[in-house]
A and B are shown apart, each in its own frame.
Chain A
């Protein structure tokens, strides 16, 4: 199920990482740590979380008072920061949606469900080299092959 996937570093420009997600229609992106091992996975929602001010997230009605130009201003927030700045707080990084190369579909599903992650990173052994990622769509077609074909 694993497939090649773009990987970014902690010091990659956040706008570049977001553009990669948008261009290839990715649900998230894998972040590689300084040791070359997977550091975390940033889902697209985390990028939005960084871009949209907390007070607007708390009261979504406030979003209505902005004009269209404001969305450009929000996006510009990504231009001056790196992927490291966009990451959630440290405590959220403790667990990673990482599975072994020989993990079963249910194992992958369990990890993704527990971490609320749209992708799982496949590594060679524990903390080993990144082999690729499994996307939610791929996993669902694997778990529900007949329904997947119908769709």
Chain B
């Protein structure tokens, strides 16, 4: 009876999150509260259990990176980079698109996708205004690049943080396993940009000359802050990479970095260095963890894990393939964060006692599917939604179908290539 009630609460909350009938934070917190009332969760399991409670490593890693990003944002470095890149491309639209896609993808791997597009999109509009070029293709390409680039690292996309924590995968694991395929996918995506977006982008020497008059150095607001916060970010990345030597968990490294960035920026007010902290997202994560913990506690996840284990048997390639494609499909339709939060404990059960290579195949399939599937539709990833909002506010509305028309080409192609990578690396050559 308790199990049925817990499953019903979980599904109801999930439907509310997916359909956005109420705010996702309210749905997750409401679901978590009902789990407590049903006796599936108590304070011990919610706050102190590493198996079924709030994953504080995830919450504090996100918090630390959000604070660090808030400080870096005050420097104007992204605006500088984007204008510098456009000038390096000598005002040629397709070259500018390539540069902006690369900057977005690399920045998304080091920061989070939403912040990256929030910083790049306004400068893109500025550059396109100067060139009299349509900004929509650039903005769509940037949203997609952020989702692809974010897949490369542990900190690039929130689902990766959950997967890293639940599966015990380090920053270097992500770099080694996801880095190569993301580089390939970016190359393919740039080729796709040429075919999907280049039509209508024409070079005009007079307009290019107007672009060359922009002064990117003026975009830098505080040189000292740029040097200190850039240095702190570099140290944080080194901290992630040297985790096996220092023993410092990514969450601790991020918090140390956030603390150092704030300490070295005495002019910044708390409102400024907390500007990028998305408290609703952090609370949403906490609610989700409690909800999923309830499912684990009553044994639903364990039972599903056993069922999946027997269904997959020794057919790990079929299992990884299904994981990749189903994750890609679902992430295009619903938010990939709750999806990954639910799937992670299931994959933990599924891979218990499995060969490490096959376990890796399952985890990377989940990561690739969840991250790349977000490109399929306009609502598949937070970065897409943010770009659509900026475009609309600036008089260049992008309809759901206009984005999705491109997404339904990019997402299946990138997922298919990712499937080839999983097959080759973890099965054919393993």
Map CB proximity to A onto B38-54 as digits: 1 under 8 Å, 0 otherwise. 00000000000000000
Is B76 a contact partner of A61 (Cβ separation < 8 A)?
yes
Whether B246 is near chain A, meaning CB under 8 Å from some CB there, is no
Whether A80 is near chain B, meaning CB under 8 Å from some CB there, is no
Among A54, A55, A59, residue most surrounded by chain B Cβ atoms (within 10 Å): A55
Map CB proximity to B onto A35-72 as digits: 1 under 8 Å, 0 otherwise. 00000000000000000011110110110111101100
* Residue numbers in A under 8 Å from B219 (CB-CB): 61-62, 64-65
The main secondary structure of chain B at its interface with chain A is helix
A51 CB → nearest B CB, Å:
12
Is B122 a contact partner of A62 (Cβ separation < 8 A)?
yes
* Residue numbers in B under 8 Å from A64 (CB-CB): 215, 218-219
Cα separation A14 to B273 with both chains bound (whole Å): 42
Is B125 a contact partner of A65 (Cβ separation < 8 A)?
no
Cα separation A94 to B391 with both chains bound (whole Å): 26
Residue of B nearest to A69 (CB): B213
Known: A62-B123, A65-B83, A67-B213. A53 touches B129 (CB 8 A): yes
* Residue numbers in B under 8 Å from A56 (CB-CB): 126
Cα separation A145 to B393 with both chains bound (whole Å): 44
Is B213 a contact partner of A54 (Cβ separation < 8 A)?
no
- Residue in B76, B83, B213, B394 whose beta carbon sits within 8 Å of that of A55 in the complex: B394
| Residues of chain A in range 65-116 having any CB-CB distance to chain B below 8 Å | 65-67, 69-70, 73
- Residue in A53, A58, A67, A69 whose beta carbon sits within 8 Å of that of B215 in the complex: A67
Among A61, A62, A64, A65, residue most surrounded by chain B Cβ atoms (within 10 Å): A65
Is A65 a contact partner of B79 (Cβ separation < 8 A)?
yes
B86 CB → nearest A CB, Å:
11
Cα separation A59 to B221 with both chains bound (whole Å): 12
Whether B266 is near chain A, meaning CB under 8 Å from some CB there, is no
Whether B216 is near chain A, meaning CB under 8 Å from some CB there, is yes
- Residue in A55, A67, A69, A73 whose beta carbon sits within 8 Å of that of B122 in the complex: A55
Known: A53-B126, A55-B125, A56-B126. A65 touches B216 (CB 8 A): yes
Map CB proximity to B onto A109-134 as digits: 1 under 8 Å, 0 otherwise. 00000000000000000000000000
Whether B192 is near chain A, meaning CB under 8 Å from some CB there, is no
A90 CB → nearest B CB, Å:
16
* Residue numbers in B under 8 Å from A70 (CB-CB): 213
Is A54 a contact partner of B395 (Cβ separation < 8 A)?
yes
Cα separation A53 to B394 with both chains bound (whole Å): 7
Whether B298 is near chain A, meaning CB under 8 Å from some CB there, is no
Map CB proximity to A onto B69-112 as digits: 1 under 8 Å, 0 otherwise. 00000001001000100000000000000000000000000000
Whether B175 is near chain A, meaning CB under 8 Å from some CB there, is no
- Residue in B218, B393, B395 whose beta carbon sits within 8 Å of that of A65 in the complex: B218
Whether B413 is near chain A, meaning CB under 8 Å from some CB there, is no
Cα separation A7 to B326 with both chains bound (whole Å): 63
Is A66 a contact partner of B214 (Cβ separation < 8 A)?
yes
4 residue pairs, one from A and one from B, having the closest CB atoms: A55-B122, A64-B218, A54-B394, A55-B125
Residues of B within 8 A of A (CB): 76, 79, 83, 121-123, 125-126, 129, 210, 213-216, 218-219, 221, 390, 393-395
A55-B122, A65-B126 provided; 4 other pairs, C-beta below 8 A? A53-B126, A61-B76, A65-B83, A65-B216
Listed by A's residue number, 11 A-B pairs whose Cβ atoms lie within 8 Å are: A53-B125, A53-B394, A55-B122, A55-B125, A55-B394, A58-B393, A59-B79, A62-B79, A65-B83, A65-B214, A67-B215
